Structure 1
Amino acid sequence: MRKFQVITLFPEMLTGVFGSSMMWKAQKEGLVSLETIDLREFGLGPRRQVDDTPYGGGDGMLLMIEPLWKAVAHAKSQDPTAKVVIMTPRGTRWKQSLAQEFSEKEHGYIFICGRYEGYDERIMELVDMELSVGDYVLTGGELPAMTIIDSIVRLLPGVLGGEQSAVIESFSDGETLEFPQYTRPAEFNGLRVPEVLLSGNHAMIAKWRENHSKKAK
């Protein structure tokens, strides 16, 4: 079973995603374990403090090193071989080929979700990978973490169901987008399904699909 652990101040953000659709199915079938670790539980003092002002001045607050370090240590105790991943705009841009690569690994993953103005840089001593989902800034790392986990889990054997489901989709070869698809009825509001798809000629259909796949930008 592949294990995914997410360190976050807002575990409730992940509840809906982890409990729905393919993510729910993957857990039900015993293919993955999806867990959240509440960073607040490792906070300091009676108020369970997890953030503080940055040295050198500046606006905003940073996640403190001690709670983060303890949270990662706890996650590692649950899965010693897991790789630690942190969500950051400076990280490697996530893409389908990476999702495929991650899905083929045997170890689990620990995701650190930043908040506020960031985190104490010393946590990088425990980090194996820095990942980004694009050149923009979000309020926290939860959405990127969920995006990345979803893209990995759906590629695990037995999750999607159909043997070719992940093979024909967009970016499966790293450069093309999936061809247009249609289902019943054959005509709706004067809009018809291309005749070739109704022909039953699999060679012609394969050629049409190849011609209508687009190169990714």
Structure 2
Amino acid sequence: MNFHIVTIFPEIFNSYFNESILKRSQTNKIIDIKIHNLRDWTEDKHKTVDDTPYGGGAGMVMKIEPLYKAIQSIAPFTRPVYCGDKGARLPLRGTSGQGKGDLKSKIILLSAKGKKWNQQLAKKYSKLNNIILICGRYEGVDERIKNFIDEEISLGNYVLTGGEIGAMAIVDSITRLLPGALGNEQSAKNESHSQPGVLEYPQYTRPEIFTTRSFTPLIKGGRGIFTPFIKGARLPLRGTNGQGKGDFSGIKKYRVPKVLLSGDHRKIEEWRRKKMKKVK
């Protein structure tokens, strides 16, 4: 799977894409991520990628020319790109214009106006070979870009400063579904939303019993708060520099459900099925 990300802030991605599953997936050649600086497709000395909106209004709008040039430059590696004249086609690199592009590719604009991203879309897109992600910024992108993309995608009903976080989320959620990306492929099959509208069952690990005890500060209006049960441990009081006094009381134990300790896999699976939550 090849990801191409077009952005005006390429450094944003360095840390996230070089840790954990995403780093390992790149090392193992399961995915390839290329970050493209949109300013590389500008022609003025200031590398301008935005301008004021026609008709007036607040903010700036991303210009279509550098975005179109970026798509034109990247997309021939993946599929034919349609340009200005109706029916006109750009030749594919390395094919003298005779070959066909890979139709298993998508060009996506990250936009607050887009279709909401979900696990079912991630599954659908995981079957592709190439995805180009365009990170919107400012007040949005010149509307004419819609003639050169396949889809607008949003993370949800809220506005972010730019599309970079959305691009990371899309790359991450798709990569997890690719063969070999996870240490145990069953992990992806049993996760929340792997079935439409279903959340994963609760998970527990050691210790079997987690114990706390309530600490009530001897100050006016003090509330009981919990601290892990450690012999001899003292909890400093807020606003007293740790010098205040109080009483420990009310030991509380949080246990792992007995069925998970039983070793009976049939009962465990039945318990897990019952604990899976359905959401609208």
Aligned letter for 1:15?
N
Match of 2:132, SS state, is strand
Structure 1 residue 163 displacement after superposition: 2.7
1:98 maps to 121
Match of 2:186 in 1: 164
Equivalent AA in structure 2 for residue 193 of structure 1: V
Q: Distance in 2 between matches of 1:26 and 1:37?
A: 20
User: What is the distance in 2 between the residues matched to 1:78 and 1:104?
Assistant: 17
**Offset at 1:50?**
0.9
User: Partner amino acid for 1:96?
Assistant: Q
Q: C-alpha separation between the residues in 2 aligned to 1:97 and 1:59?
A: 36
* 1:186 equivalent among 178, 188, 208: 208
Q: Secondary structure at the match of 1:34?
A: strand
**Following the alignment from structure 1 to structure 2, what is the Cα–Cα distance between the partners of residues 70 and 5?**
14
Q: In 2, are the aligned partners of 1:61 and 1:116 still within 8 Å (CA)? A: yes
Q: Residue 86 in 1 paired to residue 109 in 2?
A: yes
What is the TM-score with the length of structure 2 in the denominator? 0.74
Whether 1:215 aligns to 2:244 is no
Give the AA of the match of 1:151. S
Paired residues in the alignment total 215
C-alpha distance in 2 between matches for 1:12 and 1:216: 37
Residues 11-50 of structure 1 aligned to structure 2 (within 5 Å): 11-50=10-49
- 2:269, 2:33 → 1: CA distance? 38
Distance 2:154 2:46 in 1: 32
| Aligned twin of 1:109 | 131
> What is the CA distance between 1:129 and its match in structure 2?
1.1
How far is 1:33 from its partner?
A: 0.5
Task: Give the distance between the partners of 1:202 and 1:20, measured in 2 at CA.
Answer: 34
Identity of aligned residues (%): 47
Q: Secondary structure at the match of 1:89?
A: strand
Residue 23 of structure 1 aligns with an amino acid whose one-letter code is L
Q: 1:175 aligns with which of 197, 200, 214?
A: 197
**3-state SS of the aligned residue for 2:15?**
helix
Separation of aligned partners in 2, 1:87 and 1:60: 18
Structure number with higher relative contact order (C-alpha < 8 Å, ≥ 6 residues apart): 1
Structure 2: any 5+ residue segments left out of the alignment? 80-101, 212-252
Query: C-alpha displacement at 1:88, in angstroms?
Result: 1.4
Aligned pair 1:65/2:87, yes or no?
no
TM-score by length of 1: 0.95
Answering whether residue 142 of structure 2 is matched by residue 120 of structure 1, we say: yes
1:154 aligns with 2:176: yes
Runs of 4 or more off by more than 4 Å in structure 1? Answer: none
Q: Which of 134, 138, 144 is 2:156 aligned to?
A: 134
The answer for the alignment partner of 1:199 in structure 2 is: 262
Q: What are the superposed Cα offsets for residues 9-63 of structure 1, whole Å, 9 maximum, x if unpaired? A: 0011111111111110110000110111001111231111111111111111111
Aligned residue for 1:143?
165
Q: What is the Cα deviation at residue 121 of structure 1?
A: 1.1
Higher normalized helix content (fraction of residues): 1
Q: Distance in 2 between matches of 1:163 and 1:116?
A: 39
RMSD (CA atoms): 1.1
